[in-house]
Amino acid sequence: MLLKFTKMHGLGNDFVVVDAVSRKVFFNKQQIQRLGDRNRGIGFDQLLIVEPPTHPDMDFRYRIFNADGSEVEHCGNGARCFAKFVLDRELTNKRIINVETKRGHIQLRIEDAGLVTVDMGAPSFDPKDLPFTAEKQSGLYMVEAKGEVHQITPVSVGNPHAVLRVDALSDELVSSVGPVLESHERFENRVNVGFMQVINTEEIALRVYERGAGETQACGTGACAAVVAGIKQGWLASRVTAHLRGGDLRIEWQGEGSPILMTGPAEKVFEGQIYL
């Protein structure tokens, strides 16, 4: 199969995007792993597959796969790239796009200056929604890993996150604690691990160790999870700039029951084709 693709990124979180609207495309796990291999394939953090909707009130459906072949529920940076892709490819001329994901329905709004705002839906702090094993719902939880105890805020923003507030960010912290918590037994489906440094009430620095991908340059859902966790704990205001390794995202959340709004850029790198 000759596969046409577009390479894109959102703040360095990179994707291969495939149009499965104009042509039916199917992948097995081995093919996804080959495409994601940065030495023997194209290389990406996630593969995005754009499909026709299954619901009449939706414009598109899209699926998200990590480089290891595992399918995930949601991806904030991917959603922005998705919006730019369908607009650039003239698959739609709408500026507000309603999309199905594995997690549910989301809405994307094309802004000026190449920015995209994603309505990420309302977060959940209920352990059952991650799922996360806990006797009862709480604000903060203590989790033991390799003899150390970490204080985390678990939150679902369509996919599961564990947010740790830290005094300072470091390579050693992310590389040592990230994989241990990602596969911790209390997270049934593994978890994305966010390390958040609070700069002030309207700014955070953030690094995210993503399940199935490792640390990425930026994680949109991770930024959303970190900010809403910080707001929930009383550390942050309702509108926050998250500084990630790849750049900045603006996150807004008005509290319980309200959707998270994430605004940031999306860029096309190149188009190509490869035989599978």
Determine the angle formed by the axes of helices 76-88 and 220-232, rounding to 10 degrees.
140
Does 13 count as an annotated binding residue? yes
CB 262 within 8 A of CB 108: no
Task: Confirm or deny that 46 is annotated as ligand binding.
Answer: yes
A 10 A CB-CB count for 228 gives 29
Reduced to 3 states, what is the DSSP secondary structure of residue 101? coil
Q: Where are the alpha helices (DSSP H) in 111-259?
A: 171-182, 220-232
273 marked as binding residue = no
Cα first-last separation, the chain:
5
Cα 114 to Cα 59, 84, 88, 272, distances in angstroms: 21, 8, 11, 22
Pairing of strands 96-100, 60-66: parallel
Question: Is the Cβ–Cβ distance between 33 and 265 less than 8 Å?
Answer: no
Contact (CB, 8 A) for 229 and 155: yes
Show the tokens assigned to 190. Answer: 């593994």
63 is in an annotated binding site: no
77 labelled binding-site residue = yes
- Residue 211 among known ligand-binding residues: yes
Active-site annotation holder among 219, 226, 236, 266: 219
Does 189 show up as a binding residue in the annotation?
no
Q: Where are the alpha helices (DSSP H) in the chain?
A: 29-36, 76-88, 171-182, 220-232
Of 42, 50, 75, 231, which residue is the catalytic one?
75
∠ CA 231-235-226, nearest 5°, is 55
23 is in an annotated binding site: no
Active site residue 219: yes
Residue positions annotated with a catalytic role: 75, 219
Q: Which residues are part of a known binding site for substrate? A: 13, 46, 66, 76-77, 159, 192, 210-211, 220-221
Q: Which residues are part of a known binding site? A: 13, 46, 66, 76-77, 159, 192, 210-211, 220-221
